[in-house]
A and B are shown apart, each in its own frame.
Chain A
């Protein structure tokens, strides 16, 4: 299969075949991601253009590039703010794309990655554009589900802030391509927007909604937890109540399916009790590791290197 798209901007750009292709390549590269070094991308330079703080995304891209024998150019966040004062992103992209073979970008404005792609002479990988997209997170989530559970006939519950959470929107979109059975679990204030739900159903997902987390725990393969942000609640007692209702502890795990897995994009606050970490169901740290093989796969694809 050949990839027509050079840029990685939004999950909506991908067909299921393209996603499978990326996941397959990540599987091939996973042993290398676990330790070692190759020269697949020797002589190549990846520019990391982060206008907003990031730990996991930035570091896992760096790791991915180093494991592949390439180098990284890092615009530290401090320098970013001073260099960028007054300079447009468009100019920055025009310049940095002459220094590098690909650019990973995180920027606070929605649509900034798409715009960057219009100005760049090298592939742009979107590492987050405001409340917009974060496709590499979704791909690593899918990789985790495929590896640690299964993508076909999947029963998944997605819990937390389903209204504003961009991770959740693009994950559910991708899962709809696999016909997943999705249960949305959230307080009413944070329900998924109707437009997105309608979209998902139109694309073949089965979607149901509940406020009650405990009600779904026993009938799912994947429990995908997300953070509920305090800022969304004007009333602090209301926040406490909601946060308490969507917290998972070992007591919840008594009747779940044996192979049920728990995921979380991290960082967690207290949605998952730390006692859950050692249970056979926890997969959030593996999930965060899988960001490395997924990003290795993407880097080799956008730089046109066969694996």
Chain B
């Protein structure tokens, strides 16, 4: 099976496989999950893996962790085609594609330095989300973020 061939490291008993990540975005996925040097669980990352559907893709596998809604939303912004595979007892127990929310709050920093959401005012950034390609429109100043969305994640 092709899935077998992808298993470059030991299988996970429990955890999450984030598959079909847009090639080049795996590091950003780790950043979203705040996985850095001091993280204690086993994490594997594969970049530029050949994929029939995508040409190339990235994969991130994390043991003993299931993702939160907010993390899934952020992943959808940088890789709307990513799939989430919940692994329980070595088996894929659940599988779904991340879903772009219609609106994201407190997740992205507006690119406009003069936007009210970038001041000391008690206001949370809010963006309307459009798909294909992903575009974020600030509801306060209407500036649109289309490129390097990962860099603007809070």
Contact = CB atoms under 8 A, between A and B. Distances in A.
Interface of A: 88-90, 107-112, 114-115, 118, 129-132, 195
Interface in B84-130: 112, 114-117, 119-123
A111 B116 contact: yes
B139 interface: yes
Contacts of B139: 111, 114
A132 B144 CA distance: 14
B122 A90 contact: yes
A90 B114 contact: no
B123 A90 contact: yes
A114 B140 contact: yes
A5 B116 CA distance: 22
B116 A88 contact: no
- Interface centre among B115, B116, B119, B143, by most chain A C-beta atoms within 10 angstroms, is B116
B123 A130 contact: no
Contacts of A90: 121-123
Contact of B140 (A88, A110, A131): A110
Q: What is the predominant secondary structure among interface residues of chain A facing chain B?
A: mixed
Contacts of B123: 90, 115, 118
Nearest to A109: B116
Contact of B114 (A114, A118, A131): A131
Given A110-B141, A111-B138, A88 B122 contact: yes
Given A111-B116, A112-B116, A132 B141 contact: yes
A135 B117 CA distance: 21
Contacts of B120: 88
A114 to B, nearest CB: 6
B41 interface: no
A129 B112 CA distance: 13
A114 B115 CA distance: 11
Contacts of A195: 144
Contacts of A115: 116, 121, 123, 140
B142 interface: yes
Q: 4 tightest CB-CB pairs across the interface, nearest first?
A: A111-B140, A110-B141, A111-B116, A109-B116
A82 B120 CA distance: 17
Nearest to B143: A110
